Structure 1
Amino acid sequence: MTTLVQIGPSKLKPAQLAAIFKALGDENRLRILSMLKQTGCCSVAGSNDQGLCACDIESQLDLSQPTISHHMKVLREAGLVTAEKVGSWMWYRRNEKLLQQLGDAVASAL
């Protein structure tokens, strides 16, 4: 029997919820999500509220570029962030809708 958690108009299966919680289970990924709350803070000229660039994530966390790429891939695959390439920079934003729905689902389940 498959149990579904109702989240807004869509339903997340347990495997999807597990992927989200697995992504949230890493300290560096939690730090990245916290950093992404502050959009428009990139040091790249012309930055605005399009998100945070990978270069600043790398410098603020003092992690290597491949490590940042891995963490961002996990967050993207879980649906927690979106990514857009602008010029030579990769920009990341939080998926606020999913984060709100996840918070609501957890609050209603507990």
Structure 2
Amino acid sequence: MADAATSPDPDLVSALRALSNPVRLQLLLWLREPERHFPMDQAIADPAEVGVCVSHIQAKAGLAQSTVSAYLAELQRAGLVRATRVGKWTHYRRDEERIAGLLSQLGRTL
């Protein structure tokens, strides 16, 4: 096992693990341009500021709500998205600052 000085950062490993699933990666790509990928006329909050409702993400993905929620929870644990509650609905948006930091760290690591 590598020593602590040369071990990859656990946050970076977590992010790469989250992105290794093609569906999770697709969700993150859709959230990059929510106005292009999700119905704006049905949004109850500003998708750019608050995020996209799980029900809209689920409808686009064509997967069970529980599956989509699990995928988004993994992206959230990795710090790639942020969740915001609006009433009884949960909205997700990308954490652009965190993503930029992870990309920079990946560049320094590799």
Contact 2:43 2:52 in 1 (8 A): no
Matched AA of 1:24 = L
1:22 aligns with 2:22: no
The structure whose RCO (Cα within 8 Å, separation 6+) is larger is: 2
| Structure that is richer in strand per residue | 1
> Any gaps of 5 or more consecutive residues in structure 2?
none
Distance 1:15 1:80 in 2: 14
State TM-score, norm by structure 1: 0.81
Which of 25, 35, 39 is equivalent to 2:34? 39
Distance 2:96 2:43 in 1: 25
The residue aligned with 2:71 is 71
| Structure that is richer in helix per residue | 2
Contact 1:23 1:78 in 2 (8 A): yes
Which stretch has the larger CA shift, 27-36 or 98-107? 98-107
Output the aligned Cα RMSD.
2.0
Q: Percent of counterpart pairs with the same letter?
A: 29
Matched AA of 1:34 = L
